[in-house]
Structure formats: structure tokens, C-alpha cells
Amino acid sequence: MEEGARSCLLQSRSSLEQDIRASYLMDHMISDGVLTGDEEDRIRSKPTRREQAAALLELLLRKDNQAYISFYNALIRESYGDLASLLHNSLPLVSPEAEKSFSDGGTRHVQAVLSEGGVPQRPVVFVSRPALVNRVREKLYHLQKEPGWVTVFGMAGSGKSVLAAESVRDHALITECFPGGVHWLSIGQLDRADLLVRIQSLCFRLEQQSQEKDPSSSLHRSPGSLEEAKERLRFLMLHRYPRSLLILDDIWDSSVLKAFDIQCRVLLTTRDRSLADCVSGSKSEVAVESGLEEDQALEILALYVNGKPQRLPEQARSIVRECKGSPLVVSLVGALLREFPDRWAYYLHTLQQKKFKRIRKSSSYDYDALDQAMAASIQVLSEEHRELYIDLTVLEKDVKVPAKVLSVLWDLEPEEVEDVFQDFVNKSLLFRDCHHRPYLYYLHDLQLDFLAEMNRSGLESLHTKVVRQYQQRYSQGPPTSGDEECLYWFRFLTYHMAKANLTQELYSLMFSLDWVRTKAQIMGPAHLINDYVEYGAILDKEVRGHFQEFLSLNGHQLEQRPFPDVVQLALSQPDSSEVYRQALLQAQERATRG
Ligand code: ADP
């Protein structure tokens, strides 16, 4: 029953108790189908008229809008017009128009079911993601006929919980698939004792609701162990709440999921895609993209500052770009801007400087600051995997790498690296580009920024480790296969050396005619020219000039296939050039070798 009607009944309770004769009213209510014969008997068994009236009202309070309307009509029919007038103003509307009248798209029935089940409301600032919501609903429809699991997975702050709550805000879905209701349970990171408490309180809530509907059912003592709690929940779901949906929000651990492996219908949100592997029954999953479309993210910012997306300052787009449209970050920044509307440039700068601790706003979200939300994902990795994950700090933004690159860094077989990556991908800590074979992997910008911030002091030694591992693996000369791994080293070895402050090694590499020849052959001369510009500040100016000149003079030749003889080309440089000197040495060597 909706809130207004219930409140009105409670306020008029004593007047009603004083005057009504329950036995007259109950006949009408039975013929309206809102009261059962058993319920009537129970009420009639009360010894006095007043007690019968009190019992009828008590029962009515636990019923729905239809029961209120039927009771109201019964009062009119039995000439209690004055009492009926007390209830008149709060008569619930049940016309289809009224059912559609909620701004969030849910009907009164949906609202009642969701609030009874503890499903969170929409955030105050909300943008819809219809394609995603429909995907989840479609999977939930598969649970209409049989129990099973729907996993909604994605990285921290991608909007999984909001999406889960949104997907059940649908009249047809609830009435057709989950007439037993929707029950929300927030899980998060917890130990066995906490889990027991959560399940105990869920059982208590379910038993209390079922007792309200059927007072003859009794409340049980709290289950004392996890096994007992699981059995209690199994019983409740099977007998009292068949065809209901359990939403388990933010699951981290498969052992938690096992406690709910009781053949019921479950929607779970998690960062770990593989969690449902450990439970039985049918399973499906929906991936939540980590970022919103630019328009949607701008809409969130605009809603926070009560403006129009078109009128936002220029920094708005940069903020969205900087966090790749992460719903969490955009909302955190939006909430901050609501309080300090002049701080667009400041928050953009904060994001660019990766000062995540400053992007903090107490909100309904579980983590106060972005850094906590990110750190939580990493903490659940095994120690060994955590260390490996931290090594990924050395990757460049927006660069996708094959497992083989990390197999050099970690001295593992590529297959072993793939296994480690699988764990990261499952936990939404890494992304996989499956359009490419072999697969390529990459980090979300926010993850990379967070890692860099976390390992600020260790960054140099991480890059040194990359260079050393590379040198060990390719002590006989650089890879020449032309595959993704080979391309990676030709593009980024210089970057790692620069970051590692290995200036001497960077010199030797970039001022080596062999390197120039192989890189030009594999990648073309443009990349090489780029390197000299990029690291210009740390390289010897004069020698750099020799190499740049050589490349700019011979660029078109180095594009040709068959690939020209670089020593021959270099010999035409002025004899004061380092390029010429190396070419001469090589030519002499060739001559002595014959
Ligand atoms: P997750 O469960 O993936 O960690 P949440 O669903 O809790 O993420 O969302 C994190 C925050 O992002 C929310 O507190 C909310 O502020 C914001 N958010 C998520 N989805 C939306 C949305 N559709 N519209 C507006 N804000 C959203």
C-alpha cells in the first residue's frame, strides 16, 4: 500500500476502531478478492467488536492499494460515509495514467516493491544508459522460468550498482518475472562473520515481511552459522518468496557467492567477471563500459551546476576527456563544482596532476575518494599478482601491448602472462582488445594515473627493470620479426630508457647506425625522426644533428623496398658526421670479412 494511504489509515485508526463493524465490511472485501476466508475467520475469532475492528485494520495496513480502495467502498456501502470521508483524500490512484506518473519511469507498484526490497533509489543526478539497461533486462528475462545468475561486471565507479537498480525499475519485468519481489543486499568486502550478519538480517527482513502478509507464520531465531543461514535462506526463497530476485551488490569473493548458491534468481554486480564460475545453474553476463559517452558525461556536469550542457565552460570537455567519462569521477567532480562553481580550471588541473585524493566528496558511494575506489581493486589481488600489476605502471597511456612484451619483463612464458592477465581482466583492472590476434591489453587512463601516483618514487627503477630485462632477452640483437612485440620495443625502448634516466644507454642506442637501420626498416624513418625530437633535450645536440640530417636527407630512400644499403647511404654524409664514422667502420669491417 502506498505511503499516503497507510498514513491516513494510521491517523484515522482510533475513529475507525471505535465505530466499524468488521463483519459487515469483510463480506464486501472478500467479494472484491482482497481478503481470504481464513483471514475473515481469524478476525471473527476475536471476542469483541472492537477487537475485530482492530484486527481488520491491522491486516489492512499490510495489504495493497486495492485493499484500501475495497475497504473504502465497503464503508460507503455500509453507510459509514463520515468515516469514508476521512480516507477519501488519500485514495490511491490505480488508473493506467496514474501508474505511469512517476518521473523515474517506475509505477507505484514498482516503487513499493523496490522500496520494500531495499533497492536504492536513483542518484539525484542521473543520466540513462538505455542500451545497457536493456541488455541487463534482457538477461533478467531469462530468469523468468528458471533460477540462475546474471553478472554485471566492470571497473570501479563504472556505474554497475546504479545500473542494477535501474534495470529492475520496470513494471513488466517485475510482474512477469519476479512477482515474489526484488531483494537488495549490499555486500562489499567482508569476512565470514560479516557475511553471516548480512544473511541473518536478510532472513530477518524476509521473515518479517512474510509474517506481515501471513501472521500465522512464525519468526525464527537467527541462524547461528553460515551453513544454517544458507539453509534458512534457501527455505525462505523456495517457500515464501518463489520467483523473487536477489540483487547482490559489489561481490568480491567467490566464497561469498557460494553462500547464495541455493537455486534462486540472482543479479550480482562485481569487478570480477569470473566470480560466477564457482556456482551452479544458468549464467549470463553484461559488461559495463567504463565510461559514459561524452554527451552523457557533460549532461551530468550540467545537471550538477544547474546549467545547459552547451553552456558549460571549455574545461568541461577536458574534464570528461581526462577521466574518459568515468561516471564516478564525473559525478564526484560535478558534486564538488556544485559547491564551488568557479573551480572548473582547478578541478581539471587536479585531475591532470593525478591528485586523486583531492577529488573527494562524501556521497552515497562507498568510497569517499577516487583513490580509495581504485586501491580497493588492487588490494584483492594475490601478493604475487599485485606486484606484477604494479609493473604495468611503465606502460604508456593508450598503448595496447601483447602478452609477449610482459613475458620479457617478467621472464615468463607468454601463456603464463596470459593467465596473469586473465586475472586482471576478470577483476576489471585491465582491458583486452579481442579484435586483434594475439590479444592486446591496455589499462584505463584512470588506472594508469592511479598506478603512477601510487608508485611515483619507484617509477625510475621500474623502467630500469624493463630496460634490463629487454637487454637480457635480446643480448644478441633486437627482435626483427615485425610482430606486435617487436614493434613495441622499437617504439618504446627509448621511452623506457628516458624514464629510467639511463641517459648513456639512450645515447648509445639512438646514436647507433644499426638501430637506425633496423628501426627504419621495420617502422619507417618518421618514427626515428620523432624520437630525436622527443628526446632532443637529453641527447648531445651535435650528434643528434648528424642523425637528423641523415634521416631527413635519406627519408624517401628509407621508405623504399627493397630496403637500401644504409652503410652506402651513410657514407655520403660529411666525414665529420658520426653517421659517416660508423658507416666507415662497418664498411671496413665488411671489407676485412671479404
Ligand atoms: P560501481 O558500482 O560500478 O562502482 P556505481 O553504480 O556505484 O559504480 O556508480 C558510482 C557513482 O557514479 C555513483 O555514485 C553515481 O554518482 C555515479 N553514476 C553511476 N551511474 C550513473 C548514471 N547513470 N547517472 C549519473 N550518475 C551515475
pLDDT digits 0-9 by tens, 106-122: 677 888 888 888 888 88
In ligand 1, the atom with minimum distance to the C-alpha of 332 is 16
- Any residues with CB less than 8 A from the CB of 579 and at least 6 apart, and which? 513, 546, 547, 549, 550, 570, 573
SS3 248: strand
Looking at residue 385, what is its pLDDT?
Answer: 94
pLDDT digits 0-9 by tens, 419-463: 999 988 877 788 888 878 889 998 887 788 888 878 889 999 999
Distance 126 CA to ligand 1 centre (A): 8
Rounded-to-10 torsion of CA 155, 156, 160, 161: 160
Going from the C-alpha of 193 to that of each of 224, 233, 519, the distances in angstroms are 10, 16, 59
Q: Any idea which residue has 534468481 for its cell?
A: 265
The question of ipTM being above 0.90 is answered as yes
Looking at residue 101, what is its pLDDT?
Answer: 44
Distance 426 CA to ligand 1 centre (A): 20
In ligand 1, the atom with minimum distance to the C-alpha of 288 is 3
Q: Name the residue of 122, 162, 184 whose CB sits within 8 Å of the most ligand 1 atoms, as the mutation to test its pocket.
A: 162
- Top pLDDT among 357 and 25 is at 25
Q: How far apart are CA 534 and CA 526, in angstroms?
A: 12
Q: Name the residue of 136, 328, 333 whose CB sits within 8 Å of the most ligand 1 atoms, as the mutation to test its pocket.
A: 328
Crossing angle for the helix pair 49-61 and 37-44, to the nearest 10 degrees: 140
Looking at residue 213, what is its pLDDT?
Answer: 66
Distance 328 CA to ligand 1 centre (A): 5
Does the beta carbon of 271 sit less than 6 angstroms from any atom of ligand 1? no
In ligand 1, the atom with minimum distance to the C-alpha of 269 is 2
Does the beta carbon of 326 sit less than 6 angstroms from any atom of ligand 1? no
Does the beta carbon of 315 sit less than 6 angstroms from any atom of ligand 1? no
Q: Whose CA is nearest to atom 27 of ligand 1?
A: 327
pTM higher than 0.80 for the full model?
no
Report the candidate in 53, 87, 89 with the shortest Cα–Cα distance to residue 73. 87
> Using an 8 Å Cβ cutoff, are 462 and 381 in contact?
no
Does the beta carbon of 410 sit less than 6 angstroms from any atom of ligand 1? no
Does the beta carbon of 428 sit less than 6 angstroms from any atom of ligand 1? no
Residue 89 burial (C-beta neighbours within 10 Å; 0-12, 13-18, 19+): exposed
Does the beta carbon of 181 sit less than 6 angstroms from any atom of ligand 1? no
Distance 159 CA to ligand 1 centre (A): 4
Above 50 in pLDDT, residue 98?
no
Above 50 in pLDDT, residue 549?
yes
pLDDT digits 0-9 by tens, 486-521: 999 999 999 999 999 999 999 999 999 999 999 999
